[in-house]
Amino acid sequence: MRHNFGAGPCILPQEVFKQASQAVLDFKDGLSILEISHRTPEFEAVVAEAVKLVKELLNVPEGYSVLFLQGGASLQFAMVPMNLLSEGQTASYLETGVWANKAIKEVKHFGKANVVATSKEANFTYIPKDFSIPEDSAYFHFTSNNTIYGTELLTVPVTKVPVVCDMSSDIMSRVIDVSQYDLIYAGAQKNIGPAGATVVIIKDEILGKTTNKIPSMLDYKQHIDGGSMYNTPPVFAIYVAMLNLRWLKSKGGVAEIEKENIAKAKALYTEIDRNPFFKGTCAVEDRSRMNVCFVMENPELEKPFLKFAEENGMEGIKGHRSVGGFRASIYNALPITSVHALVELMQEFAEKNQK
């Protein structure tokens, strides 16, 4: 049996794959989902349901719009300041990893970036705390989960300025209060669906204030007015996201999946802390529930363990080059049985290599 711990594009439920593959063959009257017009009533219903499910699962308040866009979170790094920042203004950013750093670089095309705190000096192994956010900031931006370094910020920093969050790798994994945010964006390829779509949840009243001249394709208001279909949308990615959100709802929603995610993370971190062959890479209080990063106490055993794990069905556990070691991504669709299988493998490896 294969166990998919890949960081993304990541594991999706088998029933979603089956439903999606059927739609590739026959979505409507013998036509594939890949060839129907996005302007048909049938696909408009798909977009409407996907938006409705996002709002329902996250309990999105009135006054917010939900969009399905293209370009990944990387395009949002530029769209956010383009839509929210005016010339001469400063936006505040929390630097907690590679993706936060990439977002900071894009701000400089439109205004100034103020890094309120960083953990770069420690290779992003912790989340900075006790920082202040200037009240004259156009907005405050942070990345909630850091896939490369295995840290996660579960609370929203207190501030009077608009809050923007890159929630690409932990959206839909835990209950959040959307009213604490003014804009949330997330690449779909972790807990929402396949790669190719990006979800944006935006408070309508923060738009229309910038002095920037925004190209139509990069203007949130244009996409809101167009119902996520200003141009041809990523049809298949949205359809599969809709199926996956249906699956999440059938599981009992975000509150129920959060319980499963907590249990999975606890099982794996407990073994990392217990087993003398392994150790975690980041501060215990900042550990991610989605991306568990760890190394060997003896670095010489890392290649043998990786080989042993891969031979026994563990996919995608090699750590990012910035951290090394191992990274087990345990997104929503990964069953706890896969985590137990990895834990047992760690125990078996330790037993075989004891001197």
Which of helix, strand or coil describes residue 215? coil
Please give the Cα distance from 270 to 23 (Å, whole number). Answer: 41
User: Is this structure's pTM higher than 0.95?
Assistant: yes
Torsion of CA 6, 100, 117, 210, to 10 degrees: -150
In tens, the pLDDT along 143-172 reads: 999 999 999 999 999 999 999 999 999 999
Q: How far is CA 75 from CA 81, 176, 187, 200, 223, in A?
A: 11, 24, 10, 11, 14
Q: Are both 158 and 265 inside the same structural domain?
A: no
Q: Are both 78 and 183 inside the same structural domain?
A: yes
Residue that finishes a domain, picked among 210, 228, 250: 250
Q: Are both 239 and 322 inside the same structural domain?
A: no
Q: Band the pLDDT of 87: cuts 50, 70, 90.
A: confident
Q: Are both 226 and 340 inside the same structural domain?
A: no
By annotation, the residues acting in catalysis are 99, 166, 190
Q: Which two tokens stand for residue 161?
A: 């300025």
Please give the Cα distance from 17 to 19 (Å, whole number). Answer: 6
Please give the Cα distance from 63 to 52 (Å, whole number). Answer: 14
Q: Is residue 3 part of a domain?
A: no
Task: Give the residue numbers spanning the domain of 298.
Answer: 253-352
Burial (CB count within 10 angstroms: exposed 0-12, middle 13-18, buried 19+), residue 92: buried
Q: Quick check: 355 pLDDT over 80? A: no
Q: Are both 187 and 51 inside the same structural domain?
A: yes
pLDDT above 90: percentage of residues in the chain: 97
Helix/strand/coil percent split, the chain, to 5: 40, 20, 45
Q: Which two tokens stand for residue 64?
A: 């917010």
**In the predicted model, what is the mean pLDDT of the chain?**
96
Q: Are both 317 and 184 inside the same structural domain?
A: no
Q: Quick check: 300 pLDDT over 90? A: yes
Q: Is residue 141 part of a domain?
A: yes
Helix or strand (DSSP H, E) at 112: strand 112-118
Q: Are both 242 and 274 inside the same structural domain?
A: no
Residue that finishes a domain, picked among 250, 276, 297: 250
Other beta carbons within 10 Å of 312: 16
* CATH code at position 57: 3.40.640.10
* CATH code at position 308: 3.90.1150.10
In tens, the pLDDT along 92-136 reads: 999 999 999 999 999 989 999 999 999 999 999 999 999 999 999
Average pLDDT over residues 316-322: 94
In tens, the pLDDT along 19-56 reads: 999 999 999 999 999 999 999 999 999 999 999 999 99
DSSP state of 28: B
Q: Are both 209 and 332 inside the same structural domain?
A: no
Q: Is residue 2 part of a domain?
A: no
Reference 94, options 160, 163, 150, 148; nearest CA is 163
Q: Are both 202 and 260 inside the same structural domain?
A: no
Q: Is residue 110 part of a domain?
A: yes
In tens, the pLDDT along 177-186 reads: 999 999 999 9
The number of folded domains in the chain is 2
Q: Band the pLDDT of 306: cuts 50, 70, 90.
A: very high
Which of helix, strand or coil describes residue 167? coil
Residue that finishes a domain, picked among 207, 232, 250: 250
Reference 54, options 251, 244, 219; nearest CA is 244
Query: Which residues are within 8 A (CB) of 105 and not within 5 positions of it... i.e. 6 or more apart?
Result: 77
Query: Which residues are within 8 A (CB) of 48 and not within 5 positions of it... i.e. 6 or more apart?
Result: none
